[in-house]
Amino acid sequence: MAQCTELWVDRTDLRTTQAVSLPLPEPGEGEVLVAIDKFGLTSNNVSYAVAGDEIGYWGYYPALGNWGKVPVWGCADVVVSNCPQVPAGERLWGFFPMASHALLQPGKVCDDRFVDLAAHRQGLPSLYNGYRRTRAEPAFLQAMEVERCLLFPLLATSWLIYDFLVDNDFFGADQVLIGSVSSKTGAGLAEMLHGAPEVGQRVVGLTSASNVAYVERLGCCDEIVAYGREACIDTSVPAAYVDMSGDARLTATLHRLLGNNMVNSAMVGATHWEQRGDTGDLPGARPTFFFAPAQIGKRDAQWGPGEAMARAMAASARVANKWQGELAVEWTRDVDSLARLWRQLLDNGVAPNRGLMVSLL
Ligand SMILES: NC(=O)c1ccc[n+]([C@@H]2O[C@H](COP(=O)([O-])OP(=O)(O)OC[C@H]3O[C@@H](n4cnc5c(N)ncnc54)[C@H](OP(=O)(O)O)[C@@H]3O)[C@@H](O)[C@H]2O)c1
């Protein structure tokens, strides 16, 4: 009999996992059972676990006791439906657990999307409750499933940060410093800035010495600075810092070097999740969380609902196409190998050119 395979992570010790095999769940009234045949895995998923309690990521697919199911972006088929508007055979893209199957409760169904209305998800950030019914989407998007799992949620954020900087006239900065620029989100932002003829700001990427060559190959920065060599940065020029690393020491170093020339400091990610910490008072602009839904909301009010995300998707597709050949997509198809990959991600053991795709079906 078919089983549901899942990887559970100990919420109190992210390096401890267990493989779980359960009978397939039966959809209740209004629910659908989906078979998840692909999902992507990047540091962003580690951040979901690290911020699982703070932001509520553990709440989308609850497990038992201390265990949690880390959410991932994936594609799935509806295999059993008790929801007439979303019949078996539908293809979906959205937020799933690291698992082979899941139950959803579609509501507010439109041609190309629906919202999961399960009671336990209603208090959580609504962005992640939306699912795309991909058969109603343009053919070019349907042909980009791997890229949508692996890159689109990250590159859409890159575009929203790009738009936030443009919208604010770069806060007067003449250079944009990007922490953990080898990350897909960081490199995506660098690419969007560097490739925009209307943007004159220099793009300065910060990364580990071992990742400098990779970022050089992408050709998305005017200057690449290895961690530890921050003193090379031109501090006489006003700078906006966009931080994907979450490394408190790096933030403090940059603020002290730039002083009042640090005109904006946006906290976006925490790839260096074990180096997070309180930076205390720092010279220059106060580090502030970048809240993507605020930028979407502002643009929706100005441009009309959905326009900002449509532009973010178009930019994501452009960058994903440009990176073809740079990212080596590799597939993992069993839960024990997934557990090993998860630990490698936690321990910075995944080179930036690796594109991790998983299927537990
Ligand atoms: N707030 C939002 O809305 C939002 C949206 C999307 C992404 N993000 C955040 O942006 C960050 C980047 O995500 P991503 O998926 O694009 O990353 P990714 O491509 O998986 O990033 C890989 C890079 O991150 C660094 N890294 C990875 N694991 C590490 C570890 N254990 N210790 C130290 N460094 C590590 C390394 O870069 P370096 O050597 O260059 O440091 C590595 O090359 C994440 O924290 C993610 O949550 C936030």
The pLDDT of residue 1 is 64
Counting as low any pLDDT under 70, the low residues of the chain are 1
User: pTM of the full predicted structure?
Assistant: 0.97
Q: Residue of the nearest CA to atom 21 in ligand 1?
A: 183
CB 251 within 8 A of CB 225: no
Domains of the chain, each with CATH number or no CATH: 3-151+327-358 (3.90.180.10), 153-294 (3.40.50.720)
Residues within a 6 A CB radius of ligand 1:
42-44, 47, 154, 157, 180-185, 207-208, 211, 244-245, 268-272, 292, 346-348, 352
The pLDDT of residue 338 is 98
Q: Give residue 189 CA to ligand 1 midpoint distance, Å.
A: 13
Q: Residue of the nearest CA to atom 46 in ligand 1?
A: 44
Q: Which atom from ligand 1 is nearest to the alpha carbon of 270?
A: 45
Mutate-to-test residue for ligand 1 from 14, 39, 44, highest number of ligand atoms within 8 A of CB? 44
Q: Give residue 244 CA to ligand 1 midpoint distance, Å.
A: 6
